[in-house]
Every structure is written in C-alpha cells, then in structure tokens.
Amino acid sequence: MEPVGSPWTFCNAGYLQFFNHCLSHKDVLFLFLSLTVIFIALVFFLFSRFVYRKKNINHDYHTSEFSYATYKPKKITDLKSIIVHELGHAFIIMNFPDVYEKAFLQVYDRDIETIQQGYVFYKFNENVDQTNKKILYIKMLVLLGGMQAEKHYYEGDCSLYGATTDLMIWTEIAKIYLQHQDDNIFYINPNNQYENNHNTTLLHNLKNEQIDIISGFFNANDKLFESLIVNVMESKTLSFEKMKDISKNIISTKGMLYLFNFTKEVEDTEDKEHEKIS
C-alpha cells in the first residue's frame, strides 16, 4: 500500500486528469481526425484527376477553329460507340488530307466530368478558301460522318449523343451552301409556308445525297474502318501523321472523287506558288 501524498500518487493523479480531459474532448478529436482524413483524400483525388487530364488532353488543338464532339454517354461502356462516331468524322477527313494543316482524334476511356467523351479537331490549310462550295460540301460530309459511321457499323442504329450537335451545325452550313447554288432558289428569310417547305425539301435532298455518298464510302472501306476501331480502342488517339498514312489506303468512291480531285488542284496550286517564290 502506497503512503498518502507520495510522488507515485500525484503522478497517477496527473495521468488520470489528462486522460479524463481527453475523454471530455473525444468528440472534438474525432471530428478533427475525420476532417483531416477527408482533406487528405480530397487533395489526392483532385491531384489524380489533374494529372489524368494533363496526360490525355492535347492542348495544342484546343484553339482550332472547328471541332466535333460526342456528348457524355450514359455509361463508360459506351467507349466503342464513341470511337466509331469520332472515327467517322476523322475517316472523312482522311479522304481529303491535302486541305488540312492538322487534325487530331482523342477519346476518353473514363468519365472526365464533361460533355465531351471524345473529339476530332482540325484546321484547314491557309491557302484553302473556306467559302468555296466544295469546301463547304466537305465540311458537311465530315459532320455527317460520325452519325453515318454508327449507322454503318451498328447496322442502322445511331445514338443521339453527338449527332444532335453535328446536325445543327450541318444545317447552318447547308443553308449557306444552298444560297449559292445556281440551279435552285433558297429563301434566306422565308415569308410563307411555301417558301419554308421549299427550303426544307432542298435541305432534305442535300442530306440524303450526302448520306448516300458517305454510305458508299464506308461500304468500300469497311475492313480498313474496322481495323482502325481496334487500333483506337487501344491507343485512344489518332494523330494527323497517322491519318495521312492511312489515307493512302482509302478507296475514294463516287462523290468523294469529285471533291478529291479539287483537293489535288489545291495542292498543285500551292506547289506552283512555292516554285515562284524560290
């Protein structure tokens, strides 16, 4: 038995007082520790997201004048349909490599909290007149390429994730294109139902014409397109250099040939100007 007032008694009393003090503040300690853990986890999460985005997004193409993107899918398992859609745009571009200065395809294999799960960015060469009717036609084909690629690959099925925006932009370009056609009148500001119906018919006929051209193009290049899907499923990207290499194996079909000959004329003109300068 310890004597009253011994140092050991006072020592035990001090520890007991400290322990009781801690117990009285256990809720505060628990809250503090919990917030600390949450804060560390949040910092780690945000850092990992930042690193992922920096790794996958090619910022050189974020200032390009034109871009086509697929809307955020309902499930991440829709990766393949995103690739088919974006490759549809890129595949049309590959048929006309001489009119572009650069192009790039990127898809994401996980949700990056944006409406864009994939995109194709491109920029025309400086010598290309973007108001030229054939260039306008090529722009429209590129826009329809994503939707038609899905219909081709999935035998008629097509999601509306990317097609909705593509069709809206297509309509605006189509109106400009039809206003400069000599064989038809397109009413810029229709005043009645007849003029509205007339414009709608012209837009409908133009779209069907281009869909037929694109369908024939995908049918003729079916094997090549399927091999590209497999490659992009692995790489998630497609550079302009690779696009130009692939374009050498593309079969240019009816409708595409007419436009392709124009791109060759553009290329020849550029070469002649270069020779004059030198």
Count of structural domains, the chain: 2
Task: Say if residue 182 is in the same domain as residue 147.
Answer: yes
Domain limits for position 28: 15-56
114-141 per-position pLDDT tens digit: 556 789 999 999 888 888 999 999 999 9
108 within some domain: yes
Q: How many whole angstroms separate alpha carbon 149 and alpha carbon 214? A: 9
152 within some domain: yes
DSSP-based three-state secondary structure for 106: strand
61 within some domain: no
Amino acid at position 76, single letter: I
The torsion of the CA quartet 186, 187, 188, 194, rounded to 10 degrees, works out to -130
13-26 per-position pLDDT tens digit: 554 454 455 545 56
pTM, two decimals, is: 0.70
Task: Say if residue 52 is in the same domain as residue 110.
Answer: no
- Give me the pLDDT at residue 17, please: 56
1 within some domain: no
166: domain CATH number? 1.20.58.760
Measuring CA to CA, which residue among 41, 127, 79, 118 is closest to residue 230? 79
* Token pair of 236 as six digits: 């998630």
Phi/psi for 123 (5° steps) reads -140, 130
Angle, CA 85 vertex, CA 131 and CA 237 arms, to 5° = 90
- Give me the pLDDT at residue 156, please: 76
Q: How many whole angstroms separate alpha carbon 71 and alpha carbon 81? A: 11
246-277 per-position pLDDT tens digit: 999 999 898 887 676 665 554 443 333 322 22
Measured CA to CA in angstroms, residue 249 lies from 203, 221, 224, 245 at distances of 32, 9, 8, 8
- For residues 156 and 98, the answer to whether their CB atoms sit within 8 Å is no
- For residues 125 and 178, the answer to whether their CB atoms sit within 8 Å is no
Q: What is the chain's mean pLDDT, rounded?
A: 77
4 within some domain: no
Where is pLDDT greater, at 221 or 14?
221
* Token pair of 229 as six digits: 């899907």
38 within some domain: yes
Task: Say if residue 193 is in the same domain as residue 151.
Answer: yes
